[in-house]
Amino acid sequence: MAAEISDRVREIAEARGLPESEVFEQALERGLEDLWEDLVLAQYLDGELDGKEAIERVGRTKVERAERKRKIVEEDVDWGLNA
């Protein structure tokens, strides 16, 4: 796995003309952003964070998308239980 990551970093760095350290930095930033959004949305959906605060942290589009996904899952569960 580590070798595969190194190979990918090297390939990205070469293709973009960047140092490998910058590729790692960008990857870390993207990964942290995804983890942050997941945390905020989970807290919102669990009722630990209100909608206004969630929107301020990750944006209205992402909060609304999370609400739609939850509704779809709830509808699927209801259908499954009543089928």
Q: Which SS3 state, helix, strand or coil, does residue 46 take?
A: coil
Prediction pTM value = 0.79
Beta carbons within 10 angstroms of residue 12's beta carbon: 16
* Cα angle 4, 8, 11; round to 5: 140
Where along the chain do its domains lie?
Answer: 1-82
Condensed to tens digits (0 to 9), the pLDDT of residues 13-54 reads 999 999 999 999 999 999 999 999 999 999 999 999 999 999
